[in-house]
Amino acid sequence: MTATTVRALRLADTAEAADLAAFLGRLIRYDRAAAVRLQAGGGAVAVFGRPPAFEVLAIRTARLSEAGAEGAEGAVEGPVELDVTVSAGELLEGIDELTGGFGLPAAVTGPPWTGVLPPRGGWQRVPGLPGPAGLRQAVAAAITEFRTRDEALPAAHRDRAERDRIGREIWSRTVGDTGLPLRAVHAAQSVGFLRPMPEDAPVALLRAGTWMRLRTPYGSIAVRTGGTGGIGGLSVTPM
């Protein structure tokens, strides 16, 4: 099924539509011209976005209803298969939180990152990840350290270059011995994936090759590690 045959999708749960809308709203807050890549298949849809500065991919998934898609002549028969890049703002405008449905905006030529997605399979669990509270505490401590060091800078050195240097030093640190950059945890908190949840919530760290994925009940953050500088300069991974 091609992207042009699908005009609208419907989620299985209106609460998931509200969560998807909130996710898109956070992306737009960082970048009003943000694009997202949608992939639908297997009864679900995944929305990939890239919040600026963090050099990570944020991924929100949701289940599709049994009548998950509509085309020009009504409901689309059979499984929904879709892969398209669209404007995040236009997608957000089309979400109906009362019905769980949303229209698909016209496809756009996405930025380079939209051609570089993590692999679908081959993920292995990485031990040593703190619980949700510990992750939020790590981000809070890093933010406090940044502010303290920024305030301590002499006036002559309090410029963008020095602040960026401090930020890179702090956010490139890893979470314990896991290898996960702290900026990935910061990104997860910033897009709402670490909002309050039970301490025993299924939060996990996974690895596939040089990709790492922080997975929470609200979404995932994927980052390329191994000295590649985030997700830049990568070859396209077929999905």
**Phi, psi (rounded to 5 degrees) for 227:** 80, 15
Domains of the chain, first to last: 3-115 (3.10.150), 125-201 (no CATH)
Average the pLDDT over 183-210 and give the result: 94
Please report the pLDDT score of residue 24 as a whole number: 97
Output the pLDDT for position 199.
Answer: 83
Phi/psi-derived region of residue 163, left when phi > 0, alpha when psi is between -120 and 50, beta in every other case: alpha
And the tokens for 112? 């380079």
pLDDT band at 235 (very low <50, low <70, confident <90, very high): very low
Residue 218 has pLDDT above 70, yes or no: yes
On average, the pLDDT of the chain sits at 88
Task: Please give the sequence-ordered ranges of beta strands (E in DSSP) within the chain, or none if there are none.
Answer: 8-11, 35-41, 44-49, 57-71, 74-75, 82-87, 95-96, 101-103, 124-125, 204-208, 211-216, 219-224
Tokens 């897009």 -> residue: 191
Q: Are the CB atoms for 140 and 150 separated by under 8 Å?
A: no
Q: Dump pLDDT digits (tens) for 25-81.
A: 999 999 999 999 999 988 999 999 999 989 999 999 999 998 767 765 555 655 778
CA–CA dist 175, 171 (Å, integer) = 10
Instruction: Note whether 162 and 149 are within 8 A (CB).
Output: no
pLDDT on residue 35: 97
Task: Identify the DSSP state of 104.
Answer: P
Say which DSSP state 239 is in.
-
> Which tens digit of pLDDT belongs to each residue from 136-158?
999 999 999 999 999 999 988 88
Give me the pLDDT at residue 117, please.
95
Query: Percent of the chain scored above 70 by pLDDT?
Result: 88
On the question of pLDDT at 233 being above 70, the answer is no
Tell me, what's the pLDDT at 5?
A: 72
pTM of this structure: 0.88
pLDDT recorded at residue 158? 86
Residue where the block lists tokens 């051609």:
115
Q: Do the bridges between strand 44-49 and strand 211-216 make them parallel or antiparallel, or are there none, so unpaired?
A: unpaired
Q: What is the 3-state secondary structure (H, E, C) of 31-97?
A: CCCCEEEEEEECCEEEEEECCCCCCCEEEEEEEEEEEEEEECCEECCCCCCEEEEEEHHHHHHCEEC
CA-to-CA separations, 233 to 12, 48, 122, 174, 222, in angstroms, rounded? 37, 18, 22, 21, 15
- In 3-state terms, the chain is what percent helix, strand and coil (to 5)? 30, 30, 40
Residue 100 has pLDDT above 90, yes or no: yes
pLDDT at 226 over 80: no
Is the distance from CB of 36 to CB of 47 less than 8 angstroms? yes
Q: What are phi and psi of 221, to 5 degrees?
A: -120, 125
pLDDT over 90 at 232, yes or no: no
